[in-house]
Amino acid sequence: MIPSGQKFLNVDISLFRANYAALFITLFSSMQCCLGADPQQIQCTLIDSCSCQSDQGKIDLSPLDTKDASNPAFFNQYDEAYVDQYSFNPCSKFTLDASCTDVAVCQSQQGGAFYPLGTQDSAQFITDPTKGLEIQYSQDWLSVTRTSHVQLLCDEAADTPILDVSGEDSPGSANYYMSLTSKYCCPQGSAPPASSTHNPDDPSVTVAVSISVGTILCIILIVLLPLYVIGGMAIKRQRQGARGVEMVPNIEFWKSVPGLVKDGTMFVVGKVTRKGEYQRM
């Protein structure tokens, strides 16, 4: 028979382990948000098919445009399932097939069929509650209106643009999603949105204060990580008598990290290699 005190201790330790597992998920999610580009929750008024004006500045995608009717800026990008391919040009129309003529976005399926997914003339800058600022293109083809959603992700460090294609939202929905990450997706020419506070030393001077969602998540991460490490070590030392490296919370997980990184790297390399083989075919 297990003493009641020992039973309580076991339950208590299990509870702490469960809490720390949840904390790990939160920390890693926050870290990903810090490293990635945030959706832009801004309103941007259309100037032309690849530029718009917001209170934060002008967004102009024209530096990404090829101005080549047969060579779009993003050509034959695979979707997440590596099944269909998508081509996109931010400003100028292009032609890949009799079906995809003078388009902004085109889909080519495995069987060789091409589908136009929007024209430059149809471009609209829309702010989605979840995905933030995006350009929507639409086009009628074979009695179906197909709509492309290109999410604009601002990353000042992204000198090389990246187009990530999710593909069709669900079979038959005729809604196609992708995200464009680039420094040219960032508003230029004016200060970012800010709340204003007065400088107490000089009432005429206004100080701009602006904190992004990513910054907030990074602050939370910085605060929680020391609590996790210090609190976890104290609990393991007091309740389990752990000493040295064994005091580290979730030590078995940390020991497995190198192997997980290796497996993840091999997986990504394999996907990229396979994508290159598809494109050569």
Residues 6+ apart with CB under 8 A from 43: 54, 55, 127
| pLDDT attached to residue 27 | 47
Spans in the chain with pLDDT lower than 70:
1-36, 190-214, 268-269, 271-281
| pLDDT attached to residue 261 | 81
> How far apart are alpha carbons 222 and 86 in whole angstroms?
39
Place of tokens 């400003």: 91
Q: Is the distance from CB of 197 to CB of 205 less than 8 angstroms? A: no
| pLDDT attached to residue 29 | 45
| pLDDT attached to residue 8 | 41
User: By C-alpha distance, which of 91, 141, 90, 135 is closest to 116?
Assistant: 141
Residue-range domains of the chain with CATH: 4-36+212-280 (no CATH), 44-189 (2.70.130.10)
